[in-house]
Amino acid sequence: MFRRVLGKTLGFVGYTVQYGCIAHCAFEYIGEFVVCSGPSMEPTIVNHDIVFSERMSRHLCKIEKGDIVIAKSPFDPNMNICKRVIGLEGDKVCTSAPSDVFKSHTYVPKGHVWLEGDNLRNSTDSRSYGPIPYALIRGRVCLKSSMAILSTIQRCESVGSSKQVCLIDQSLDNILSSSPFCCVVMSLDVIATTTLETALASA
């Protein structure tokens, strides 16, 4: 009797450890769902959008200009920020506000990236705290889901001084709105809320 209970307990603990480890590997090396809050990435990502961030391109150093990334905030490692990569190492970027008459430029140092929000008026980003190290990037945002519409976020081709916001909503909704994917996203919400937060923008 006692032996059977002990064996069952041990088996349960073993399965818990195994599935916990598999979950850790999935979140660390494949991707995770994140709820974004804050206005800094409007209109691409609005408040309370759920996005999927994939980890492999960060581990393989495949982050490119125009990608939207989730990174640790350089001033508070427990907070995450969601921004668009404007410049990689060695690029010349514009550091002044869009309304300024005199533009100032700087070069991104080695091993760093330049991040800016799409909502340039209302975003705390590299223009206020400078370039951030590449190793703070946690993942690349590749899917977003808002109000049962799944849209792929496409890499913005023409970034630079013009900084157009181009989100191309490929209408996948006729393919996917009938699929159970959105329900999956909603149920994964609970896991994702631990790693949410865009930088709360101070005007």
Partner 1 sequence: MAQQASAGRRYLRAFVSGFFVAVPVTVTVLDRFAYVARVEGASMQPFLNPEGGSECDVVLLNRWSVRNYQVQRGDIVSVMSPRNPQQKIIKRVIGLEGDFIRTLGYKNRYVRIPDGHFWIEGDHHGHSLDSNSFGPVSVGLLHGRASHIIWPPSRWQQIKPSLPPNRGPLDTEEEEG
Catalytic residue ranges: 40, 83
Identify the helix (H) or strand (E) that includes residue 165.
Answer: none
Q: Candidates 6, 10, 13, 21: give the one binding partner 1 (CB under 8 A).
A: 21
Q: How far is the CB of 109 from partner 1 (least distance, A)?
A: 8
Q: How far is the CB of 195 from partner 1 (least distance, A)?
A: 13
Please tell me whether residue 186 binds partner 1 under the rule CB under 8 A: no
Residues whose CB is less than 8 angstroms from the CB of residue 8 and which lie 6 or more positions away in sequence, other chains included? none
Please tell me whether residue 78 binds partner 1 under the rule CB under 8 A: yes
SS3 of 190, please? helix
Please tell me whether residue 114 binds partner 1 under the rule CB under 8 A: no
- How far is the C-alpha of 84 from the C-alpha of 90, rounded, in Å? 17
> Structure tokens of 171?
């209408």
Please tell me whether residue 110 binds partner 1 under the rule CB under 8 A: yes
Please tell me whether residue 64 binds partner 1 under the rule CB under 8 A: no
The DSSP bridge partners found for residue 85 are 115
- How far is the C-alpha of 176 from the C-alpha of 186, rounded, in Å? 15
Nearer to partner 1, 28 or 169 (CB): 28
- How far is the C-alpha of 114 from the C-alpha of 126, rounded, in Å? 6
- Give the binding site for partner 1 (CB under 8 A): 17-18, 20-22, 24-25, 28-29, 61, 72-78, 109-112, 132-136
